[in-house]
Amino acid sequence: SRILLTGANGFLGAHILRQLLPRPGVFVRAVVRSQAKVEAVTQDFSGFSNIDFAIVPDITAPQAFDDALSKTDVPFDAVIHTASPFLYSAVTGNRDFLDPAVKGTTEMLKAVQAVAPSVKRVVITSSFAAVGDLAHMDKMAGSRYTEADWNPVTWEEALAGDMNTAYQGSKKFAEEAAWKFVEEEKPGFDIVTLCPPMIYGPLEHTVTKTSDLNQSTARIYYFFMAGKADAPLPEDSLYLYADPREVATAHISALYTPEASNQRFIICAGQVPSQSISDILRARFPELEERTPMGKPGVSSLSGEPYSASSEKAEKVLGIKFRPLEETVIDLGKQLLAIEKAE
Ligand code: NDP
């Protein structure tokens, strides 16, 4: 099958490539923003010849994706759209989150409808940020979130609020726009949306400086590996997680599973209290003894009735199985220490 993948140079995009490219019969066109990114992806996936590139410098531009989708000898079967702003350091205002997220999604859907009638499915990376009311964590206590839940943030709040609210709004309004498009246009393709919480786990793209880490990985590095043993544990705010390997598998399964048609899925491995991350890192890596907040080893740092999320639907329909947390944290910890040593 022939697949168009946006955000191919990103943290998640690289995991999707790592799992897609070895599949027989697959050809991927990777969409990135610049030639430098074409080169980075080419290097990371140099063993594969079943990939080519399209450069789309501005995904909010009208007809942004028309050429990427139509200039091809073999028509596309499917699209995976992961590109969306998440790196806070790359954003200067709330619009920088909202516009690329929403317009990037709607431009993709419009382009598929206009120039790529062969595409039968578009898989869209949404987020748990579109599900839970993360700006009001007090209201989330005790809830077990499912695919029926939506973050109640309004457009005005997303525009005027802090960067977290802008990001949460960007994911919600992008996903909402996609569902609205399908409902109103009844296009010749269906969509699948995937809602992972924080994605923690090893990298499949080359990062040579810790300052270049993606948002969720940077959270682990700076909060758990670059502090002090007697510093307070990082606050347990974003403690639901998924491993990028399973999130990537979910995207691929979403491409090929007929029953996933027009469905939304939460992709969540479970809760990860800050204490657990610290305990695993401290037990496995002696060099972190002085740098990883110790907290109270073995005592869960989640208090009250911590919210949770159900991944039953993803397990059942997409066949996703989640690996143990230890593996996720150790695989990432090893890699981050190696990046740090080499920089
Ligand atoms: P990265 O920052 O590593 O990758 C983001 C990708 O999107 C990059 O290819 C980036 O391109 C592209 N992108 C960002 N901003 C823009 C923009 N304004 N215009 C065009 N392209 C843009 O993050 P992730 O891989 O983690 O994110 C991938 C997707 O997963 C996003 O949709 C994100 O919301 C979602 N997600 C991520 C979670 C996580 O914890 N990591 C959790 C839940 C959802 P460039 O390199 O050129 O900036």
User: What is 290-341 written as a DSSP string?
Assistant: TTS---STTS----SS--EE--HHIIIII---PPPHHHHHHHHHHHHHHHHH
204 C-alpha to ligand 1 centroid (Å): 14
70 C-alpha to ligand 1 centroid (Å): 24
Q: Given the CA of residue 129, which atom of ligand 1 is nearest to it?
A: 43
Q: Given the CA of residue 99, which atom of ligand 1 is nearest to it?
A: 18
Residue 334 maps to a domain = no
Per-residue confidence at 197, pLDDT binned at 50, 70, 90? very high
Mean local confidence (pLDDT), 103-130 = 98
Residue 232 maps to a domain = no
Judge whether residue 40 has pLDDT over 90: yes
Instruction: Identify the CATH number of the domain in which residue 177 sits.
Output: 3.40.50.720
User: ipTM for the complex?
Assistant: 0.99
Backbone angles phi, psi at 205, to 5 degrees: -110, 150
Residue 273 maps to a domain = no
Judge whether residue 80 has pLDDT over 90: yes
CB of residue 85 inside a 6 A radius of ligand 1: yes
82 C-alpha to ligand 1 centroid (Å): 6
Res 237: pLDDT:
81
Res 85: pLDDT:
95
Angle (deg, nearest 10), helices 94-115 and 163-185: 20
Residue 169 maps to a domain = yes
Res 321: pLDDT:
98
Residue 276 maps to a domain = no
Residue entry with tokens 């599900």 = 131
Per-residue confidence at 157, pLDDT binned at 50, 70, 90? very high
190 C-alpha to ligand 1 centroid (Å): 22
Q: How far is CA 216 from CA 12, 86, 198, 314, in A?
A: 11, 9, 6, 22
Domain tally, the chain: 1
Q: Given the CA of residue 198, which atom of ligand 1 is nearest to it?
A: 40
Residue 226 maps to a domain = no
Residue 192 maps to a domain = yes
299 C-alpha to ligand 1 centroid (Å): 34
Judge whether residue 304 has pLDDT over 90: no
Residue 12 maps to a domain = yes
pTM over 0.90: yes
What is the residue-averaged pLDDT of the chain? 97
Judge whether residue 303 has pLDDT over 90: no
289 C-alpha to ligand 1 centroid (Å): 32
Kindly compute the dihedral angle of the four CA atoms of residues 75, 105, 244, 76, in this order, to the nearest 10 degrees. Answer: 0
Res 236: pLDDT:
85
Q: pLDDT digit string (tens) for 203-261?
A: 999 999 999 999 999 999 999 999 999 999 998 888 999 999 999 999 999 999 999 99
CB of residue 124 inside a 6 A radius of ligand 1: no
Domain hosting residue 181, numbered range: 2-200+240-268+308-317
Q: Given the CA of residue 56, which atom of ligand 1 is nearest to it?
A: 20
Pairing of strands 240-242, 263-266: unpaired
Res 209: pLDDT:
97
